[in-house]
């Protein structure tokens, strides 16, 4: 067998399996069409659900929101969170806030010394940050989602209305939802430091 023929057969040996594996243009087009149709269907569903979440019937709003949160579909959950947190319905907004916070493992606070506190407290706060940095993590364990309570390093915390509170030893904090993604409030840490604290939920 000539060297040229051997090389040709070797090329065909690699090319043939690829021919069988690679989808034809028609098959690729069919797969793309199926994906697009599924995406359009989901987009229609989401638009319909948004209309209900923003609709006039509060019972339907709350029931739809709860069903979306319980659906197990991550996209549906994120749409429910986004719409609920921006809602003019205070009940649904509180439900969305609690559901989102309770879905988290940690809430990361950013700290700045509270300039309204006494000078001694401000100095203790500046010292705290110089030693530990301006971050503080509240971990959420043993969550009771219905009650909105959680364990924090053996301490405790709760989500109630639009407020997020925690206490562990001499550390405590109370933050309130200020927009659809931000918490702001006060944290008292180490028994002598006091901070303005903020946190982003997503």
Each residue of 103-115: pLDDT tens digit? 999 999 999 999 9
Query: In this model, does residue 117 exceed pLDDT 70?
Result: yes
Please state the pTM of the whole predicted model.
Answer: 0.77
Query: In this model, does residue 186 exceed pLDDT 80?
Result: yes
156 burial level (CB within 10 Å; 0-12, 13-18, 19+): middle
Residue 120 pLDDT: 96
Q: What is the pLDDT of residues 59-112, one digit of tens each?
A: 999 999 899 888 888 888 999 999 999 999 999 999 999 999 999 999 999 999
Q: Where are the domains of the chain?
A: 3-92, 106-200
The answer to whether residues 112 and 134 touch, using CB atoms and an 8 Å cutoff, is: yes
Residue 18 pLDDT: 46
Residues β-bridged to residue 123: none
Q: What is the pLDDT of residues 145-169, one digit of tens each?
A: 999 999 999 999 999 999 999 999 9
Q: What's the pLDDT band for 34 if we cut at 50, 70, 90?
A: confident
2 phi, psi to nearest 5 deg: -70, 160
Cα 171 from Cα 194, distance rounded (Å): 10
Residue 22 pLDDT: 55
Query: In this model, does residue 178 exceed pLDDT 50?
Result: yes
Strand order in the sheet with 193-200: 135-139, 106-113, 193-200, 182-189, 171-177, 163-168, 155-160, 149-152, 141-144
């Amino acid at each position: 067998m000539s060297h040229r023929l051997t090389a040709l057969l070797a090329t065909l040996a690699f090319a043939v399996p690829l021919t069988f594996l690679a989808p034809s243009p028609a098959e690729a087009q069919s797969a793309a069409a199926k994906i697009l149709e599924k995406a359009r269907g989901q987009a229609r569903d989401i638009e319909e659900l948004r209309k209900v979440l923003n609709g006039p019937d509060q019972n339907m709003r709350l029931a739809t929101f709860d069903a979306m949160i319980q659906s197990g579909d991550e996209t549906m959950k994120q749409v429910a969170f986004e719409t609920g947190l921006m809602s003019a319905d205070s009940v649904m907004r509180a439900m969305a806030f609690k559901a989102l916070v309770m879905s988290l493992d940690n809430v990361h606070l950013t700290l700045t010394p509270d300039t309204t506190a006494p000078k001694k407290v401000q100095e203790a706060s500046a010292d705290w940050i110089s030693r530990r940095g301006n971050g503080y993590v509240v971990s959420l364990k043993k969550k009771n989602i219905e009650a909105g309570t959680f364990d924090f390093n053996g301490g405790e915390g709760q989500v109630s209305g639009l407020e997020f509170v925690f206490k562990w030893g001499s550390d405590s904090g109370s933050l309130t939802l200020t927009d659809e993604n931000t918490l702001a409030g006060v944290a008292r840490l180490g028994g002598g430091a006091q901070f303005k604290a903020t946190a982003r939920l997503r």
